[in-house]
Amino acid sequence: MVIQPILDLVSLCAQKGIKNAILSPGSRCAPITLAFARHPEIHCRTISDERTAAFIALGMAQQLEQPVVLVCTSGSAAYNYAPAVAEAYFQQIPLLVITADRPAEWIDQWDGQTIRQPQIYGKHVKRSFDFPDEFSHVDKVWHAQRIVNEAINLANQYPPGPVHLNIPLREPFYPEVGEQFEFKPVKNIEVLASETYISPILETQLRDKLKVYQNILIVPGQQRPDSELQATINILASDGKAVVVTDTISNLQSAHTISFHDHFIGNASVQQQLKPDLIISFGKSIISKSLKLFLRNNPAAHWHVQIAGYSPDTYQSLTTIINIDPKNFLRFLNQNLAKNQDYVNRWKTLNDLVKKNLLETLRAAEFGEYKAISKVLTVTPDHAKIHLANSMSVRYVNFLGLRNQEIICNRGTSGIDGSNSTAVGCSFTTKDPIVILTGDLAFFYDRNAFWHNYPMNNLRIVLLNNHAGGIFRLIDGPARQPELEEFFETNQSLSAKNLAAEFNMEYHLVEKEDELNIALNHFFGASPFPKILEIKTESPKNAEILKWVKSQVQNLL
């Protein structure tokens, strides 16, 4: 039996520009699944594992910058979306999460696949909507259409994010043979917004406020590449008007910004000369713990710039929230800041010193993860998109500084659970090379990312397999415990060889530097299949190498 309001839901998605849906098999969700699958303007894929499905949708929406639909059946299936929903919330990525449900009268009645689904994602969605469970009155149909309009509009409004639509459904779930689906135009409630500009009054206020500050530090957080923003940042930094410190996930690193700060910002002997009077931030989180601690321990006035929404006090010194588009605000700074070459040069001298000597230090180091990642990045195509797993992968790349490629990492919640799947979703949106740089725990934890029937021949996986969670050797607490190896590192003996065979991937194993050099000669070349490059190392040796490199760099300061 066709439920017209479900068809109207799908029609509205298409009218509002949604073009992709990730569906997971189930019976209760059949009317929703069929409606999406039969709509001519929406591209549907089916992913059996709901946790994987949600991260794949996240990876697509992050690149497309528009909502991707998720559809699953009732019960625990909906809970499996939760990690990706939380990640999307904190990364501000739009998702339309649709869960089929039992009607309200069957909740808590020991009926199959029945849990308490309304508000299931709590405060990790922008809002949760409950769809009507019957449509006998015309107002119920109006209500259903209004809910869908509100949900999609809210997912897109700044800051974008996931919204949840819970839909109770009664049997029968399936249409009769020959029953036609009619997708009719539905009232589309549009939201029209204008860019936020700095008013003349606010310009005057900001000029007066800036007069009391000399040493200005700009700290962009995680965001997508933006050529216009990059150009403005480069002018500010190169003209000596402000210091711009860029973590790799800011996607704003350039020859003019400070990108090797992790190597010197924790050094007490140089911190005094680097202290800012004013911190200006925009974007989301940063990686560098050393930078966060430096800014928390050396309080300065802190202005955070974003269009709207909640602004966290990351550095414990937030004084002003400026609700302006960052691009417009940075253009204002370019026109109104005086040069402070002395302060800029203090940072630049240290940054250039590390930049000049780090690669030479790595060349002299023993072979391990650090050197391996450096070599891989040297030959990674500039037009690639690099997905970094959390723990050590993202930190190594941050240590290595300047990058040309787009850097993507799930730093909303900083978990290891969906890094493969996010990259697979990204691979569905582009023909550019998609590179996963990952450790073994994150990789094997998310192996179902590859369990589907869709091509991903542009995917290249660099697996750093030290058979453990090596980051725990670098954290003082667990590193000093006798239970380190069993209960923190979680030693495992898996290899990616069997996984590669299961999922029809090219597989290469290296254990030595010369083997890696040979493998990289063709690793990024064209292939009809994804490729895995497994680099086998030892966790204790990796920790020793990292400490040695750090000590060599510190000796330069």
Give pLDDT tens digits for 131-148.
Answer: 998 888 889 889 999 999
Which single residue is written with the structure tokens 């009619």? 182
Give residue 177's pLDDT.
Answer: 81
What's the token pair of residue 527?
């292939």
- Residue 488 pLDDT > 70, yes or no? no
User: What is the CATH number assigned to the segment(s) 4-168?
Assistant: 3.40.50.970
Residue 420, token pair as written in the block: 């493969």
CATH for 365-554, options being 3.30.300.180, 3.40.50.10310, 3.40.440.10, 3.40.50.970: 3.40.50.970
Sheet holding 20-23, edge to edge: 43-46, 20-23, 68-72, 95-101, 162-168, 128-130
200-351: CATH number: 3.40.50.1220
Q: Categorize the per-residue pLDDT at 8 as very low, low, confident or very high, splitting at 50, 70 and 90.
A: very high
496-508 per-position pLDDT tens digit? 999 999 999 999 9
**pLDDT 10s digits, 147-177:** 999 999 999 999 999 999 999 998 877 777 8
pLDDT band at residue 1, thresholds of 50, 70 and 90?
low
Instruction: Render pLDDT for 353-397 as a digit per residue (tens, 0 to 9).
Output: 999 999 999 999 999 999 999 999 999 999 999 999 998 999 999
How far, in Å, are 236, 247, 404 from residue 254 at the CA level?
A: 12, 11, 8
- How far apart CA 478 and CA 463 sit, in angstroms, is 24
Structure tokens at 46: 């089916």
Is cis: bond before 25, omega within 30 of 0?
Answer: no
The length of the chain in residues reads 557
Q: What is the mean pLDDT of residues 540-547?
A: 92
Higher pLDDT, 92 or 472: 92
- pLDDT, one tens digit per residue, over 253-292 is 999 999 999 999 999 999 999 999 999 999 999 999 999 9
Taking all residues of the chain, what is their mean pLDDT, rounded to a whole number? 93
pLDDT of res. 196 = 80
The domain spans of the chain are: 4-168, 200-351, 365-554
Tokens of 16: 């509002």
Q: In the structure encoding, which two tokens stand for residue 543, read together?
A: 């920790």
pLDDT at 469: 60
Flag whether pLDDT at 299 surpasses 90.
Answer: no
Average pLDDT in the 483-490 region?
Answer: 67
Tell how strand 506-510 and strand 531-536 pair up.
Answer: parallel
469/218: higher pLDDT:
218
Contacts of 184 (CB under 8 A, 6+ apart): 7, 8, 11
Query: Which residue do the tokens 């391990």 mark?
Result: 368
Supply the DSSP symbol for 266.
Answer: T
- Tokens 């290891």 identify what position? 416
* End-to-end alpha carbon distance in the chain: 73
User: What digits encode the pLDDT tens for the residues 419-464?
Assistant: 999 999 999 999 999 999 999 999 999 999 999 999 999 999 999 9
pLDDT in tens, 100-139: 998 888 788 888 788 899 999 999 999 999 999 888 888 9
Report percent pLDDT > 70 for the chain.
97
Distance of CA 299 to the CA centre of its chain: 29
DSSP H/E element including 15: helix 4-15
CA–CA gap between residue 100 and residue 14 (Å, rounded): 20
Q: What pLDDT, on a 0 to 100 scale, did the predictor assign at position 178? A: 77
Question: Residue for token digits 């000597």?
Answer: 357
Residue 486 has pLDDT above 70, yes or no: no
CA gap 377, 52 in Å, rounded? 27
Buried b (16+ CB within 10 A) or exposed e, 521-543: eebbeeeeebbbbbbbbbbeebb
Q: Do domains 4-168 and 200-351 have the same CATH topology?
A: yes
Q: How far apart are alpha carbons 233 and 218 in whole angstroms?
A: 9
Q: State the pTM of this model.
A: 0.94
197-245 confidence digits (pLDDT tens): 888 999 999 999 999 999 999 999 999 999 999 999 999 999 999 999 9
Between 403 and 474, the higher pLDDT residue: 403
In this structure, what token pair is assigned to residue 352?
């250039």
